[in-house]
C-alpha cells in the first residue's frame, strides 16, 4: 500500500477535499447520493474546515450528501470530546446540509442503546423496507484516522470488535481511555466503496511504518484490519508522519 505523501497538513486537507469532491460527483452521478462517514479526532478537522470554504463547498451538492460517523465517544454532543460536536463546529454549522442528512451516533445515550439505535438507522437508510437486510451498508466513503497505537475508528488493540462478524455497530469500554465508545465494525468499513485514511504528525511515524510495511498483526495494529473487499483504500499522510517510510 503506497500512501500519498503531502508536504504539510494544509496540503493534506486540500488534497483530501479534492478527493472527496471527486468521489461525491461520481457517486451522485451514479446513484443520486453520496453517503459519507466522518472520522473523529483532530486530523480531519483541517479537511472539514476546508470543505466549508467556497472554493470547495460550491463543488459539493449538499442536498445529495448524507453524513454518518465511523465512531463516537459516549458523551453528549456539547462535550469537547464529541466527534459529532467537532464536526458540527468545523463543518456542519457552515454548510447548507439538510438537517435530515445528518445521522449521528447518540453519544448521550447508554452505550449499548446508542449502538443499537445507530445500527437500526443504518438498516433503515441502506435497506428500507427490509426486515432482514440483504447485505451490509455500502458507504461511498469512510474517513478514518489512526492513533499512535494503530487504532482506527474506535477499534483499539485487542478489542473483541476487531473480530465481530455479525454486528455492524458495537459499543465497548476502552480501558486505556476509561471511556465507552461506539464504532462501526470492520465488516462495515471493509464493505465501503472508498476508505480514506488521513494521518499526520511525527508521533504517528513509527506506527505508520509498522502498519504499512510490517507484518500483518491486526490485534496489535487495528488499522491493518481495514482491507476493503472491493472498495478503494487510500492513505493520505503528511511528510512528518511519513518520516520513517
Ligand atoms: C476518534 C477517532 C480516532 C482518531 C485517531 C487519530 O474518535 O478519536 O475515530 O480513531 O481518528 O485517534 O486521531 P487524531 O487525528 O486526533 O490523531
pLDDT digits (tens, 9 = 90+) for 4-30: 999 999 999 999 999 999 999 999 999
Residue 244 belongs to some domain of the structure? no
pLDDT tier at 58 (50, 70, 90 boundaries)? very high
pLDDT at 161: 98
The per-residue pLDDT for range 176-232, each reduced to its tens digit, is 999 999 999 999 999 999 999 999 999 999 999 999 999 999 999 999 999 999 999
Residue 245 belongs to some domain of the structure? no
1 pLDDT exceeds 90? no
Residue 243 belongs to some domain of the structure? no
The total number of structural domains that make up the chain:
1
pLDDT at 239: 98
Name the pairing type of β-strands 4-6 and 169-174.
unpaired
Beta-bridged to residue 194, according to DSSP, are: 232
Q: What is the DSSP string of the chain?
A: ---EEESSHHHHHHHHHHHHHHHHHHHHHHHS-EEEEE--SSHHHHHHHHHTSHHHHTTS-GGGEEEEESEEESS-TTSTT-HHHHHHHHTGGGS---GGGB----TTS-HHHHHHHHHHHHHHHHSTT-SS-SS----SEEEE---TTS-BTTB-TT-GGGG--S-SEEEEEEGGGTEEEEEE-HHHHTT-SEEEEEE-SGGGHHHHHHHHHS---TTT-GGGG---SSSEEEEEEETTTTTT-
Residue 151 belongs to some domain of the structure? yes
When the pLDDT of each residue in the chain is averaged and rounded to a whole number, the result is 98
Nearest CA to ligand 1 atom 15: 43
pLDDT at 6: 98
Decide: 120 and 99 in contact? Cβ < 8 Å.
no
Residue 229 belongs to some domain of the structure? yes
Residue 50 belongs to some domain of the structure? yes
- Residue 59 lies in domain: 4-238
3 pLDDT exceeds 80? yes
Average pLDDT over residues 96-115: 98
CA of 221 from ligand 1 middle (Å) equals: 14
153 pLDDT exceeds 80? yes
Task: Please identify, by atom number, the ligand 1 atom nearest to the C-alpha of residue 198.
Answer: 15
Mutate to test the pocket of ligand 1, among 43, 47, 143, 147 (most ligand atoms within 8 A of CB): 147
Residue 52 belongs to some domain of the structure? yes
Nearest CA to ligand 1 atom 13: 41
CA of 64 from ligand 1 middle (Å) equals: 27
pTM here is 0.98
Share of residues in the chain with pLDDT > 70 (%): 100
Residue 87 belongs to some domain of the structure? yes
Q: What is the CATH number of the domain that holds 10?
A: 3.40.50.1360
Amino acid at each position: 500500500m503506497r500512501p500519498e505523501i503531502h508536504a504539510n497538513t494544509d496540503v493534506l486537507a486540500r488534497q483530501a477535499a479534492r478527493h472527496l469532491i471527486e468521489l461525491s460527483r461520481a457517486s451522485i452521478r451514479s446513484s443520486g447520493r453520496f453517503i459519507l462517514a466522518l472520522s473523529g479526532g483532530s486530523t480531519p478537522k483541517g479537511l472539514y474546515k476546508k470543505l466549508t470554504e467556497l472554493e470547495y463547498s460550491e463543488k459539493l451538492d449538499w442536498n445529495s450528501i448524507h453524513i454518518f460517523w465511523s465512531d463516537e465517544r459516549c458523551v453528549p454532543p456539547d462535550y469537547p470530546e464529541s466527534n459529532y460536536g467537532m464536526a458540527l463546529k468545523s463543518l456542519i454549522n457552515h454548510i447548507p446540509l439538510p438537517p435530515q442528512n445528518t445521522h449521528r451516533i447518540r453519544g448521550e445515550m447508554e452505550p449499548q442503546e446508542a449502538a443499537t439505535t445507530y445500527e437500526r438507522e443504518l438498516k433503515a437508510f441502506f435497506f428500507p423496507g427490509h426486515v432482514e437486510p440483504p447485505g451490509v451498508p455500502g458507504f461511498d466513503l469512510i474517513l478514518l484516522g489512526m492513533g499512535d497505537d494503530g487504532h482506527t475508528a474506535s477499534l483499539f488493540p485487542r478489542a473483541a470488535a476487531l473480530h465481530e462478524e455479525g454486528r455492524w455497530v458495537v459499543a465497548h469500554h476502552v480501558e486505556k481511555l476509561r471511556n465507552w465508545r461506539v464504532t462501526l465494525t470492520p465488516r462495515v468499513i471493509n464493505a465501503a466503496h472508498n476508505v480514506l485514511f488521513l494521518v499526520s504528525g511525527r508521533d504517528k511515524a513509527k506506527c505508520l511504518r509498522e502498519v504499512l510495511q510490517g507484518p500483518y498483526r491486526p490485534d496489535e495494529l487495528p488499522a491493518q484490519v481495514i482491507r476493503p473487499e472491493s472498495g478503494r483504500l487510500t492513505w493520505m499522510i503528511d511528510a512528518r508522519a511519513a518520516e520513517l517510510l
